[in-house]
Amino acid sequence: MDTDIDSQRTPCLPARWPPRDIDIDSLRLPCLPPNGIEPADVYGHGIEVCRTEDKKSVIIYPSLYRPKNDRFYEDPDGSCLAWQNQEDVMDQLGWLKKIHEVIGSSEPTSHPRVQRSVCIRLLEVQIETEFPVVELIEKGSLFFFLLENPKPVVPSGKGSENPLTLKLRWALNIASALAFLHTKNIIFEGLSPHNIELRSDLSAALVNLDAAAYREQPGSGGPELGYGSPDSHQSPLPDRPETWIKPSQDIYAFGSLLYYLWMEDDPIAEEDMEDLEENDLDEIIRKCWVNEFGSMDEVLEAVKNVVAQEGLELSGEDDIAVDASVEQFEAAGYFAKWCRTEDANN
């Protein structure tokens, strides 16, 4: 009796795999969408981003994308692997479009502290693919920036070396962004230093808007992507308003973000509450965590009061004036470094 287990198995692959006419390495290589240029970076599960040819915008696309003229293109009617059939991925891109459509449906249609679509009113899409195209925020995520530049200090517009200048600026920027989104019935839900990116002048903007929620509909990632709050519901129900995602959840998350900015460490509100001190900044954090603010507008005013007390100069409604020394900082994070290397080699 033959006891060789391998000899009894029914082969499930051809004798030679891959077949001679298929270059398996080519099959594994990602395919950039039209007008996209290297490098590419992970945006979410099954999704990547790359810059456009002018290097001013990014295209968000499925990582398995193949154009119709590609030899490895798969007909969506006959394959479960074709990018068009990746249900979760396409839902995520569809939700991103939805959030931008909500933002663009009423005035004002954009905000300087929220990543903009390339088109003013609605999210621009590639004609060939309908993939979303959004502006490139030049200097990368807040998380990586602080990782590479702990406790950064730049002179304010008045020449002050106040160490709080940049961090108060970011707090002011993000409070303003959240207040704007709330006027559109959008709750960001995914607030964290990973979903905040810095422009060339180091002002902050919210990105990854597919994480945002609209009324009872959660974002593509849900609160697990950012700082959660005690009253978050993983599965909001359309017919139960008490389970809906609420502005108070963003307010709570903003308190956690403030803590992160000052301490450069993620908070655990239940443990860190008792360590808060008797000062105006810690009071804002505490009031966010215990739900004593009625709206993000109130939070924004509280941050502005601290800015005034610190003697810092406002630039417009939601920014702090800084001098040109902000340009000394390079873009942070893997994607930014890859872009810098790619540009240097071309």
Please state, in angstroms and rounded to a whole number, the distance separating the CA atoms of residues 173 and 53.
29
201: phi then psi, degrees, rounded to nearest 5: -95, 10
Position 262 pLDDT exceeds 70: yes
3-state class (DSSP) for residue 2? coil
CATH (residue range 142-328): 1.10.510.10
Span 47-53, average pLDDT: 93
Position 41 pLDDT exceeds 70: yes
Give the percent of the chain with pLDDT over 90. Answer: 40
Would you place residue 238 in the very low, low, confident or very high pLDDT band (cuts 50, 70, 90)? confident
Which two tokens mark 272? 């860190």
Position 7 pLDDT exceeds 50: no
* Per-residue confidence (pLDDT) for residue 11, from 0 to 100: 44
* Per-residue confidence (pLDDT) for residue 225, from 0 to 100: 67
Please state, in angstroms and rounded to a whole number, the distance separating the CA atoms of residues 64 and 78.
15
* Per-residue confidence (pLDDT) for residue 22, from 0 to 100: 54
316: phi then psi, degrees, rounded to nearest 5: 75, -155
Q: Which long-range contacts (CB under 8 A, 24 or more apart) does 316-320 make?
A: 317/176, 318/112, 318/113, 318/172, 318/173, 318/175, 318/176, 319/169, 319/172, 319/173, 319/203, 320/156, 320/157, 320/165, 320/168, 320/169, 320/172
Please state, in angstroms and rounded to a whole number, the distance separating the CA atoms of residues 41 and 193.
18
Span 330-336, average pLDDT: 91
Please state, in angstroms and rounded to a whole number, the distance separating the CA atoms of residues 273 and 11.
61
- When mean pLDDT is compared over 78-92, 128-142, 216-230, the highest value belongs to 128-142
Closest CA to 306 of 290, 287, 324: 287
Per-residue DSSP letter, 328:
G
Would you place residue 155 in the very low, low, confident or very high pLDDT band (cuts 50, 70, 90)? low
Top-confidence residue, 62 or 155: 62
DSSP β-ladder status, 213-214 and 186-187: antiparallel
125: phi then psi, degrees, rounded to nearest 5: -130, 155
DSSP for 225-292, please give it: GS---TT--SS-BTTBGGGS--HHHHHHHHHHHHHHHHHSS---HHHHGGG--SSHHHHHHHHHHTT-
* Per-residue confidence (pLDDT) for residue 224, from 0 to 100: 55
Position 331 pLDDT exceeds 80: yes
How distant, in Å, are the alpha carbons of 22, 33, 110, 123 from that of 82?
A: 18, 14, 34, 24
DSSP for 263-276, please give it: HSS---HHHHGGG-
Span 266-274, average pLDDT: 79
Would you place residue 5 in the very low, low, confident or very high pLDDT band (cuts 50, 70, 90)? very low
Would you place residue 194 in the very low, low, confident or very high pLDDT band (cuts 50, 70, 90)? very high
Q: How many residues can be counted in the chain? A: 346
Span 140-147, average pLDDT: 93
* Per-residue confidence (pLDDT) for residue 13, from 0 to 100: 46
3-state class (DSSP) for residue 210? helix
Would you place residue 122 in the very low, low, confident or very high pLDDT band (cuts 50, 70, 90)? very low
pLDDT, averaged across the chain:
83
List Cβ neighbours of 112 (8 Å cut-off, separation of 6 or more).
203, 205, 318
* Per-residue confidence (pLDDT) for residue 157, from 0 to 100: 61
The answer to whether the beta carbons of residues 212 and 181 sit under 8 Å apart is yes
Would you place residue 8 in the very low, low, confident or very high pLDDT band (cuts 50, 70, 90)? very low
Break the chain into its structural domains and give their ranges: 32-136, 142-328
3-state class (DSSP) for residue 90? helix
User: What is the dihedral angle through the alpha carbons of 181, 187, 189, 195, rounded to the nearest 10 degrees?
Assistant: -10
* Per-residue confidence (pLDDT) for residue 24, from 0 to 100: 53
Which two tokens mark 19? 């077949």
Please state, in angstroms and rounded to a whole number, the distance separating the CA atoms of residues 57 and 61.
13
